[in-house]
Structure 1
Amino acid sequence: MQRPLATSPLTALAASVVTTALLGLAACSAPPAPDTSAPTAPTGVTAASGSATTVHVMWSAATDDRAVTGYAVYRQGRKVKDLPAETLMTDVTGLAPATPQTFTVRARDAAGNLSPDSAAVTATTLAATAEDRTPPTRPTGLRVTPDGPDAAALSWRPARDDTRVTAYDVYQADARVHTVAGTETTARLGGLRPGTAYSFTVRARDAAENSSPDSAPADLTTAPAPGAPPNTAPTAVTARAGRGSVTLTWTPPRTGAPVKEHQLYLNGRFATTIVWGAEPAPGPVTYTLAVPTASGTRYTVTLRARLPDGTWGDFSAPRTVVTP
């Protein structure tokens, strides 16, 4: 009679450990579950005609169980734009004058899943007019106030035009972030970061796409996040462009010690470090930066100070100038 082989407790334990390890390896090597969940449909879609050939489309961000990676804009059911996830507006150009145009927006994720269509919105392009080269006057009286922890409310006085103002474009750091119809003189901007200095300007636009000069800037520093330290950005920043130079004036942040160094950024890139050899004054300071002499060049300037602990503080509100 054949007898079963005897197994010691130690052998059984070793076998159990090996089995558990193999099962663990199998679990680790299992491929991740495929992503089959589509993002939600974008909401808050609006369309406004700013000229005879252009419609400006905007929407609110969609959500996804992982991440939204982009948006597709459709006109009359045909895709006309693919945009990254951080872009929530676009101009659709090359349209026929005085023609109704219908738009929808869809979100997509990294797996290529597309959301349902957003609600459809319609805008009619303006009628074509005789050649118009006269821009509107600059908007005046721009004001900005907080509207909750992550939003701002803007208001301004209307501009004038020899035909009519068809749109107002809101800019932050010389980048357009919002557009409203020419009959509106208010705007609300959401998605702002806590403890951040912002500077807004407004331009008026007519049907021939002529844009006014920038309004005077209006600054807003959002409230810091709970438990975060106060903002340390330089304040009262002004900028003036000359021939081959940009002159800046600002007030250093209050840090409890003299601020001897600042970094200056030009168009989002580091340009220079400003160091005072002597004891700097606590009040306004001035610095002139040499720039290329080409006329009509736009420069956006920001500053930040070195704090007593050796770290760099928050960036100032940006200032944009145009060389004469």
Structure 2
Amino acid sequence: MQHRFTASLLLALTLGISACASTPEPAPEDTAAPTAPTGVTATAGSASTVHVMWSAATDDRAVTGYEVLRAGRKVKDLPATTLMTDVVGLAPATRHTFTVRARDAAGNVSPASAAVTATTLRAAAEDRTPPTSPRTLRATADGSGAATLAWTPARDDRAVTAYDVYQADVRVHTAPGTATTARVTGLRPGTAYAFTVRARDAAENSSPDGPRVELTTAPAPGAPPNTAPARLTATAEHGEITLTWTPPDTGAPVTHHELHLNGRFATTIVWGTTPPPARATYTFPVQDAPGTRYTVTLRARLPDGTWGDFSAPRTVVVR
């Protein structure tokens, strides 16, 4: 017996089979909340601000953000990459309580962290005199992911209330005004870093940067030697920035360097002739107004065609 199918029936069967074959299994529902953040600290920086920091929470998939609460009420929503914040607009000479919660993409929220307290400073008469800069700064790498900094105390006509640690012109830590050390975590293995410290008083006056200190964290087990350009300097004058550095020793001439400004690729520096064997210099124009700040990093192209490690960053101000 011969069977016949109409075109429309055949099409319907084909679509039905395709639909059944291509329908993916639904992803299991995510009902697991992240862990509560740990290591929460709160430091009063002035009569109206408190600096809150914490260690990253964990999740079975991924933490997507954090909530900072004051006295149980949410005051900040932050991305997962942010592990500190300033809470502003607080009442002077008042004890404030803070907790932190983590959340994931499914909207699950962790339990609140352990509560921490900080008392804002008393409001003072108008003060426009900044503290002096810390006079010295030392840094020691703690393995591959942390560093300990130590500095000499700054001076102020009233009192130093906080020390702010900057890496590549970005504040990464705040310590109390009585502290002379800080431990910075979350660093990458085998990476060059440059740190500075500024002192701050109760009126939020900040000192100029103290001396810069550099370190390279320990490499990950089995990682190749560090290939970052060394001794990078950056100066600005008459609308131009001049860089000078020592290329890494790769066993072959380094013909290409990649220049990054403020964390973004800017250009590739290519030597038209034989590259310099020791110190290299490159000058380029900038169009921004005087006072504009740039953070500069370099990395070299290695003999195998891959890009090496980034140099320690340098901050330069357009003049």
| Identical-residue share of aligned pairs (%) | 76
Tell me by how many angstroms 1:289 deviates: 2.2
Corresponding letter in the other structure for 2:161: T
Tell me by how many angstroms 1:293 deviates: 5.3
Tell me by how many angstroms 1:30 deviates: 4.3
Residues 1:253 and 2:248 aligned together: yes
Residues 1:272 and 2:267 aligned together: yes
- Please report the TM-score for the alignment, with normalisation by the length of structure 2: 0.89
Alignment-derived partner of residue 80 in structure 1: 75
Whole-Å Cα distance in 2 between the matches of residues 306 and 265 of structure 1?
14
1:166 to 135, 158, 161: 161
Alignment-derived partner of residue 184 in structure 2: 189
Instruction: Give the 3 Å change call, closer, same or farther, for CA 304–30 of structure 1 in structure 2.
Output: closer
Whole-Å Cα distance in 2 between the matches of residues 279 and 210 of structure 1?
49
Instruction: Give the 3 Å change call, closer, same or farther, for CA 30–263 of structure 1 in structure 2.
Output: closer
1:240 to 235, 240, 254: 235
Residues 1:305 and 2:319 aligned together: no
Alignment-derived partner of residue 8 in structure 1: none
CA RMSD of aligned residues (A): 1.8
Alignment-derived partner of residue 176 in structure 1: 171
Alignment-derived partner of residue 202 in structure 1: 197
Provide runs of 4+ in structure 1 moved above 6 Å: none
Whole-Å Cα distance in 2 between the matches of residues 71 and 190 of structure 1?
18
- Please report the TM-score for the alignment, with normalisation by the length of structure 1: 0.88
SS at match of 1:94: coil
Listed one character per residue, the Cα deviations across residues 232-254 of structure 1 (whole Å, up to 9, x for unaligned) are 11011112222312222111000
Residues 1:134 and 2:132 aligned together: no
Gaps of 5+ in 2: 1-16
SS at match of 2:136: strand
Whole-Å Cα distance in 1 between the matches of residues 292 and 131 of structure 2?
21
Gaps of 5+ in 1: 1-21
Corresponding letter in the other structure for 2:164: D
Tell me by how many angstroms 1:38 deviates: 1.2
Alignment-derived partner of residue 51 in structure 2: 56
Corresponding letter in the other structure for 2:53: M
Alignment-derived partner of residue 95 in structure 1: 90
Alignment-derived partner of residue 322 in structure 1: 317
Residues 1:118 and 2:118 aligned together: no
Alignment-derived partner of residue 225 in structure 1: 220
Listed one character per residue, the Cα deviations across residues 42-68 of structure 1 (whole Å, up to 9, x for unaligned) are 111110010111000001111112211
Listed one character per residue, the Cα deviations across residues 227-284 of structure 1 (whole Å, up to 9, x for unaligned) are 2211111011112222312222111000111112212111122222222233233222
Residues 1:65 and 2:60 aligned together: yes
